[in-house]
Structure 1
Amino acid sequence: MMFAADNIRLRALEPEDLEWLYSVENDEELWQWGSSNVPYSRYSLKTYIAESRHDIYADGQLRLVIETEDEHLVLGCVDLMDFSPRHLRAEIGILLFPEYRGRGVATKVLGMLVSYAREHLYMHQLYAIVSQKNMKAQHLFERFGFKRVSLLADWLRDKEEDYVSAYIYSFRL
């Protein structure tokens, strides 16, 4: 599976992605944005890559690698998760490595993912849960047309062990 725009493409995970995936999944700084706070072994991630069908209906989620088309440089990954086949909606999460942020990559990726969700998965809705502290992500989703629909009070526990509220952003396809 591959989607591309302006030298950025999305592709399925490959076995050679194991090391950077291992570093991302075990980066304690990133745990505050997700729901996991346990380390993953290389073995479990290798098994995940090997056994993933890259089918959101079978796996309930879809992770795609963000990379440059010309040099195949990995910039991060994007996830559709908590997929509901009944309601045809999924949560979206975008992770860009720090050195590639602020370059318009996330906007391109969001556009590709929305198109894919609409045209190939026939989804009805995408949503994102965004920390009140993450102004860049709020601006990204708002610029793209996602609507802030709810506030989740004290939803995320940050690295200082304080609770931070989060917004739900929704986009109807």
Structure 2
Amino acid sequence: MPKLLINDTLYLRALEPEDLEVLYKWENDTDVWKFGSAISPYSKFALRQYIEDAQTDIFHSKQLRFMIVLHERETTVGTIDLYDFDALNSRCGVGIYIDPACRKNRYALQALNLLINYAFHFLKINQLYAVIPESNISSIKLFQSTGFSQSGVLQEWVSYDNEFENAIIVQKLKSDQ
């Protein structure tokens, strides 16, 4: 396993067929749909196909998902993604999810730092960004704590429960490191 995807507490790994049940639970958690773009539940069939078809080549699939796994007990605590990869402009979006039972342990911070290092130093990406609903204060603080800075506000960008909410754009440039 490459040292750049691992620290003393956790590591990032590719999707495995054994991840089906936990992905099914997380992807169908309606409490977090408002923070993403999900509009309907995912079937186990669809998730099984996603796992089988998941490319580990970000240049081909334009995305790359990692499972966040604790060394202790080999427990999977979340996922972290690179998405909307744009090779021409050398940028990529970042998304992260930590199981509610595992939050407040700094796993998101550690995983995000590993992903930043991987993206900038191995993939040679120049810019990472995230689009975060204004109400998701913990995510905004997480990204800011790793050096992302707010670069804009998208007005009424996210719709949930028939109401619109602004979204914050945060960015981190390789040159900021």
Q: Same fold (TM over 0.5)?
A: yes
Report the CA distance between 1:155 and its aligned residue. Answer: 0.8
1:146 aligns with 2:148: yes
Report the CA distance between 1:97 and its aligned residue. Answer: 0.7
User: Which residue is equivalent to 1:124?
Assistant: 126
Q: Which amino acid counterpart does residue 145 of structure 2 have in structure 1?
A: R
User: Which residue is equivalent to 2:55?
Assistant: 53
User: Which residue is equivalent to 1:37?
Assistant: 39
Match of 1:94 among 93, 96, 118: 96
Q: What secondary structure, in the 3-state scheme, does the structure 1 residue paired with 2:74 have?
A: coil
1:67 aligns with 2:75: no
Report the CA distance between 1:161 and its aligned residue. Answer: 2.8
Q: Normalization by structure 2: what TM-score? A: 0.92
Q: Which consecutive unaligned segments of at least 5 residues does structure 1 have?
A: none
How high is the sequence identity, in percent, across the aligned residues?
35
User: Which residue is equivalent to 2:139?
Assistant: 137
User: Which residue is equivalent to 2:172?
Assistant: 171
Q: Which amino acid counterpart does residue 52 of structure 2 have in structure 1?
A: A
Q: What secondary structure, in the 3-state scheme, does the structure 2 residue paired with 1:36 have?
A: coil
More helix by share: 2
Deviations 1:37-69 (A, max 9, x none): 122221121111112121111111011000101
Contact preservation (8 Å) 1:11, 1:66? yes
Give every structure 1 segment of 4 or more consecutive aligned residues whose post-TM-superposition deviation is greater than 6 Å. none
Q: Aligned equivalents of 1:157 and 1:105: distance in 2?
A: 28
Task: Return 1-10 or 43-52, whichever deviates more.
Answer: 1-10
Report the CA distance between 1:105 and its aligned residue. Answer: 1.0
Q: What secondary structure, in the 3-state scheme, does the structure 1 residue paired with 2:104 have?
A: coil
Contact preservation (8 Å) 2:91, 2:126? yes
Q: Which amino acid counterpart does residue 44 of structure 1 have in structure 2?
A: A
How many residues in Structure 1 have an aligned counterpart in Structure 2? 172
Q: Aligned equivalents of 2:153 and 2:53: distance in 1?
A: 36
RMSD: 1.3
User: Which residue is equivalent to 2:10?
Assistant: 8
Q: Which amino acid counterpart does residue 131 of structure 1 have in structure 2?
A: P
Deviations 1:63-118 (A, max 9, x none): 10001013111101001111111111111011001121111111111110000001
